[in-house]
Chain A
Amino acid sequence: MKFAYYPGCSLHATAREYDLSTRAVCDRLGIELKELPDWNCCGATSAHSTNHFLSTALPARNLAIADEMGLEVAVPCAACYQRLRMAQNDLARDPVLREKMEAVTGRPYKEEGVRVKSLLELLAGQGEALKSRVVRPLDGLKVACYYGCLLLRPPAVSFDDPEHPSSMDGLLEICGAEPIDWGYKTECCGASLSLTDEDVVLKLTRDILAVALGAGAECLVVACPLCHSNLDGRQGHVNKKFGTGFQLPVLYFTQVLGLAMGARPEELGMNIHFVSTDKVFKKCCPENTPRKR
């Protein structure tokens, strides 16, 4: 199985461990990832709130490159996925936008466009293959699957139920983990306000951590680099501001999958988190604790 791979900016920078673990997992499942040559920004951040056309043209160029490769695209980042799918959605409905976009990108728009898959959607379809490759079951590790606000919205481009998603829960169950039922699966972490209004972000992040912990979670599992940077990177700020003592590991779902398939923690980037992931690792592999960075 071969997919075009669109990592987006995060996976080359702040979410390097998402990239590492994605490659590790796909490698073990026999999925070949071929990174899009000369890809550009997906338009998620400033473009989509300031310039609708730019936020369509940027992903449209990426889509056209993928189309030339003749492969389906796998997209790990929730924001990238949403931009690529929304661009397809908007272009399919608006012939004028289509014409303008073709003029700007210099590439033709095809009605039967390239198929874009979220990495979660892609791996959720590999349940059987995963089952046979689990060598280190996670032994009832209580995980809170956190899909975030963006991955499944709007419903028009969603691959799972936008209100009660279950694709990640199903995958982690195969790994032997025990996904808990909790109410914050699709709440917002405040990512889009990260740089402009930290107070809001800290409150939202605190709420998510508190509810997950209250529901008995031993770790949070995410599928979005922005969620991860808030929940993992800002846990210290939250503790300082609210006087809390959170030490809740926040993992990418690909890291959990990788662990279950026997990957070394360093291979999955588990040693570069802000909040130590030792707890999780010890649980499934008590004899070997990862090195600190």
Chain B
Amino acid sequence: MPRIGVFVCWCGSNIGGVLDCPKLAEEAAKMPGVVYAADYKYMCSEPGQNLIIDAVRTHGLDRVVVASCSPRLHEETFRKALARAGLNPFLCEMANLREHCSWVHAAEPEKAQAKALDLLRRAVAKAALLQPLTVSPLPVTKRCLVIGGGIAGIQVALDVADAGQEVVLVEREPTIGGNMTRLDKTFPTLDCSACISTPKMAAAASHPNIKLYTYAEVASVTGYIGNFKVTIRQKPRYVDHDKCTGCGTCWEKCPKKVASEYNLGLGQRKAIYIAFPQAVPNKPVIDAANCMRFQTGRCGICAKVCPTGAVNYEERESTFTEDVGAIVLATGYKLFDWERAYGEYGYGKYPDVITGLQFERLVNAAGPTGGKILRPSDQREPKSVVFVKCVGSRDAAKGREYCSRVCCMYTAKHAHQVLEKIPGSQAYIFYMDVRTAGKGYEEFYQRTLNDGAVYIRGRVSKIFQNGDKLIVRGADTLLGRPVEIEADMVVLATAMEPAAGAADLARLVGVTGDKDGFFQEAHPKLRPVETHTGGVFLAGACQGPKDIPDTVAQAGGAASKVIGLLSRSELETNPMIASVNEVLCSGCLLCLPACPYKALEAKTITERQPGHPPRERVVAGVNSGLCQGCGACNVACRSGAIEVKGYTNQQLLAEVDAICQ
């Protein structure tokens, strides 16, 4: 018979203010197997923990139930207390009287008391069946993979590399730098984006601890925390970067011009190109889909003019494998495709209705207009510019429910730049709310107001072309009347969305996406850079919309988690994982597709039965490094051969019985 001790925590008034904790302890003492029960103000405190340890020793307890808050908060604390008392730490069970009871049922204390008792009975029933579990060691490969070479990925790579660990940085575009290099000045300090990002790009490329793959994508990820094996697919560049000096003759002579992706269609590039003059690496690639040599077989000028013979039309895709111990996802964002959803703004058929990011290219000295704000339609300077915020953000009907967080500030910056650069100009901003939570942000917004920007609270219902003007019609909800503005240019603050391919990458790496497709952090407050997959971390806008300061801060956080992980010589595995009863397993392998972490595999065992010759049989096997103990396989298993340790069928059924008593 087990000897169970029950410890009921008041959590100050959080639990004690609603529930009668001494009474709960008294009732618990009568439950089967319970030999000791006590209550205390703060069980997680030092004296609280000592109370548990003393009781274990004095009363010879071999199972402990703590009835307090969520196990997410303090399960680890109490497990350690058990270890200090000389018990296996996994012989601790918690009943969540705070989040599951007193907080949510504060208005009905009597019913809450009854529920608390049910929760306690459940925990005691499970505790009676707990078994000791042991952790085992895992080796750690002291290298880190960073996916995405924008400011988030670069910052992670630099921080980890500076700490002395090796980094593999993979970027799918021909250059690292990401969206930040497209920006002109950055709010609220108006420092030039290129001036602060390009030195970091160069530092990352030349760092001895960073191995850079550009124009490459991660093709597969296998393994588990501390021991990932990654396949990287290098797309053909058709230019040998070892021979190329980046002299630029090829792209000067190339006869084929296409719209520049980097300039969001506002400028042109050649078929052999570098995205922008400060690109890293500063060597070109050939866009085969638009190259005349590839499309018609004629041309070949770049190969003829290249002084080092670096152009190679025969180059093929190649793959590389890398072993790493940690992975950081830093894939950033893209902008909401407003042209698909907003017919009332013209579906993109009016050339002078542009996005905020296109405006950045227009106002950028390195952009297609050399920093002059000119209308795409006729290259004239606009005198009246209307900004529309929340296009696709905070719009559940047409776009995304969430706030994209950066638009209020960059729109304030854009309006400031219009008023500063174009004498006699007028800037109108249609807004729902002005959200300026950040250091120096509200001050910047006030500055734009003082510059003379006109803020109109309301939505824009329609934009249409009338002659060479754009008519912007909306509501001023403060005055309660419709407004109509004749504009020369309209800038839409479109929502931030997960980068293209984010869902595929999530599947590849084995992390989950949230309802909007951003990568899901392990805990929104307490584990913001971790994922539910061990050894995989998040940085930047791939986790949710973020501005540059927040992105860099989160990247630093992710880097510190990686450094912490890689600084250990070995890891302890989580013992609460699936285990297969090979006698019961029929080898149907239905559990394999159920596993989100690719932790199950087929394996062949040799079975011996009395009176029969030994025979070989296929059963499911669990990779203890990959398994996260989610239990999906447990449910899928038809013969009940798979159980999750610490959550066995027997334990769970005992809990159900106890609750339904």
Contacts and interface: CB of A to CB of B under 8 A. Distances in A.
A214 B465 contact: no
**Most chain A beta carbons < 10 A, residue from B343, B344, B347:** B343
B471 interface: yes
Interface stretch (A14-22, A89-97, A159-167, A253-261): A159-167
Interface residues of B, number: 10
Interface string A156-176: 000001111000000000000
B466 interface: yes
B613 interface: no
Interface in B339-359: 343-344, 346-347
A43 B268 CA distance: 57
B463 to A, nearest CB: 8
A193 interface: no
B464 interface: yes
Nearest to A185: B464
A163 B471 CA distance: 15
A183 B343 contact: no
B467 interface: yes
A184 B344 CA distance: 11
A211 interface: yes
Contacts of B462: 183
B464 A183 contact: yes
A164 B347 contact: yes
Contact of A211 (B343, B344, B466): B466
Nearest to B470: A183
Contact of A163 (B344, B465, B466, B467): B344
B495 to A, nearest CB: 19
Interface string B212-247: 000000000000000000000000000000000000
Nearest to A215: B466
Given A183-B466, A214-B466, A162 B343 contact: yes
Contacts of B471: 183
Q: How large, as a class, is the contact surface on chain A?
A: 10 to 19
A162 B346 CA distance: 12
Nearest to A162: B343
A164 B347 CA distance: 9
A214 B466 CA distance: 8
A163 B350 CA distance: 14
Interface in A74-121: none
A215 B471 CA distance: 14
Interface in A171-219: 181-184, 211, 214-215
Interface string B456-484: 00000010111100010000000000000
B467 A164 contact: no
Interface in A144-166: 161-164
A163 B464 CA distance: 11
Interface string B159-185: 000000000000000000000000000
A207 to B, nearest CB: 10
Nearest to B467: A214
Nearest to A181: B465
Contacts of A211: 466
Contacts of A184: 464
A164 B471 CA distance: 16
A183 B344 contact: no
Interface in A211-243: 211, 214-215
A41 B462 CA distance: 33
A182 B465 CA distance: 7
A161 B343 contact: yes
A83 B465 CA distance: 32
B467 A183 contact: no
Contacts of A183: 462, 464-466, 471
Contact of B343 (A164, A181, A215): A164
**Most chain B beta carbons < 10 A, residue from A164, A181, A183:** A183
Contacts of A163: 343-344, 347
B412 to A, nearest CB: 29
A161 B344 CA distance: 10
Contacts of B466: 183, 211, 214-215
Nearest to B350: A183
A146 B344 CA distance: 16
Contacts of B467: 214
Contacts of B465: 181, 183
Contacts of A215: 466
A212 B288 CA distance: 47
A222 B344 CA distance: 20
Nearest to A207: B484
B482 to A, nearest CB: 11
A213 to B, nearest CB: 12
A71 to B, nearest CB: 33
Contacts of B344: 163
A183 B347 CA distance: 13
Contacts of B346: 164
B204 to A, nearest CB: 45
A182 B462 CA distance: 13
Nearest to B471: A183
A205 B177 CA distance: 53
A180 to B, nearest CB: 12
A4 to B, nearest CB: 32
Contacts of A182: 464
A160 B464 CA distance: 19
Nearest to B349: A164
Nearest to B464: A183
A163 to B, nearest CB: 3
B338 to A, nearest CB: 13
B392 to A, nearest CB: 15
A184 B473 CA distance: 12
Interface string B479-492: 00000000000000
A275 to B, nearest CB: 23
Interface of A: 161-164, 181-184, 211, 214-215
11 contacts: A161-B343, A162-B343, A163-B343, A163-B344, A164-B346, A164-B347, A183-B466, A183-B471, A184-B464, A211-B466, A214-B466
6 smallest beta-carbon distances between A and B, as pairs: A163-B343, A183-B464, A163-B344, A164-B343, A183-B466, A161-B343
Interface of B: 343-344, 346-347, 462, 464-467, 471
Given A163-B347, A181-B465, 11 more contacts: A161-B343, A162-B343, A163-B343, A164-B343, A164-B347, A183-B462, A183-B465, A183-B466, A184-B464, A214-B467, A215-B466
